[in-house]
Amino acid sequence: RNATVKAVILAESVGLTVNAVKIPPRTDPSDILCSHGPETLKKLIERPINIFDYLLDFLISAKTDNTGEAQEEALKELTPYLDAVGSDVRREKYLRQLADEVNADPVTVIREYRNNRGKKLLRTSRLRSYRSTGVETETVFEPVDDELYLMTAVAVKTEHFTTLRKSLAPEIFRDRRALSVYRVMDELSVDGRELRTDVIVSKLDDEKMKSYILEKAAAGIYDQRADDTIKEKIRILQIRTLNDERLELQKLMDKENDTGLDSVNPMINNARMKRILEIDKEIQAR
């Protein structure tokens, strides 16, 4: 079984889909061929099952109870394969399937998996940093402004990046740490690659930023009300951007007015005033 899992993990890492043929317990293909003939074996081969179904069935058949310890052990045994799965959607489907088989709450199983994975990634990141610098790193990030909070949340809850990308341009970011996360996620999206927290972190240069994101992922900070939190941070930054534009327009108007009325182009000032009123309405609407 260990050899099978290693082969499947290798296949997943290069994007291959693996299926398995389910045969009766304590038999092999040669037994079926000799006892039941080639047609029976052919029918089995023509009806392969998903590799996760195969691994899960093998695991469950070996378990004798559904205690909390057994449920935890089942998740632990399947984690190496789940880590290799390239799709978050498919991984969550498998986790729900596992929860159903061991009579556990799906939300709890998913949270437990994510927490364990985040902690493992964090340990790996800190070990890599220690090997390169010889210094034990401790993440201290101050201040954590709206930009950094937003991009950390989106790096963990990557499904929200599409909305973020449509709502905020990279030019509005003042925090270089938040901007670096945005640019990495934007680059991955343009390349058509799947947005995953571990992939995003691997492409960041700032070791403290890497650890910070992984700590938040491991702690499950964004597991509750992520949608509302991310939407609110986007709204705050949109309003800030509008206020910045309004302030700049007002400065230009004041500057031209100070030079004397004769030098002011009425059409330009009217256009600026119109835009200021539009901005006021947009802010009020948000």
| Per-residue model confidence as pLDDT tens digits over 188-230 | 999 888 888 989 999 998 888 888 898 888 877 787 788 899 9
Same domain, 214 and 261: no
Q: Containing domain of residue 68, as a range?
A: 2-104
Same domain, 8 and 100: yes
Checking if the pLDDT of 141 tops 60, the result is: no
Look at residue 221 in the predicted model and tell me its pLDDT: 78
Look at residue 136 in the predicted model and tell me its pLDDT: 44
Same domain, 61 and 33: yes
Residue 153 lies in a domain: yes
More confident residue, 141 or 164: 164
- The answer, as to whether pTM is greater than 0.75, is no
Same domain, 6 and 88: yes
Residue 171 neighbours by CB distance under 10 Å: 8
Residue 141 lies in a domain: no
Q: What is the DSSP string of 246-273?
A: HHHHHHHHHHHHHT-GGGS-HHHHHHHH
**Average pLDDT over all residues of the chain:** 81
Same domain, 174 and 231: no
More confident residue, 168 or 20: 168
Residue 119 lies in a domain: no
Same domain, 82 and 174: no
Decide which of 178, 194, 219 is a domain's last residue.
219
Residue 236 lies in a domain: yes
- Provide the number of structural domains found in the chain: 3
Same domain, 252 and 205: no
Same domain, 7 and 85: yes
Look at residue 169 in the predicted model and tell me its pLDDT: 93
Mean pLDDT of 96-124: 76
Look at residue 105 in the predicted model and tell me its pLDDT: 84
Residue 135 lies in a domain: no
CA neighbor of 114 nearest in space, from 230, 219, 225, 207? 219
Look at residue 142 in the predicted model and tell me its pLDDT: 54
Cβ atoms of 4 and 81 closer than 8 Å: no
Same domain, 237 and 207: no
Same domain, 176 and 197: yes
More confident residue, 92 or 158: 158
Same domain, 187 and 215: yes
More confident residue, 203 or 73: 203
Same domain, 214 and 265: no
Cβ atoms of 257 and 264 closer than 8 Å: yes
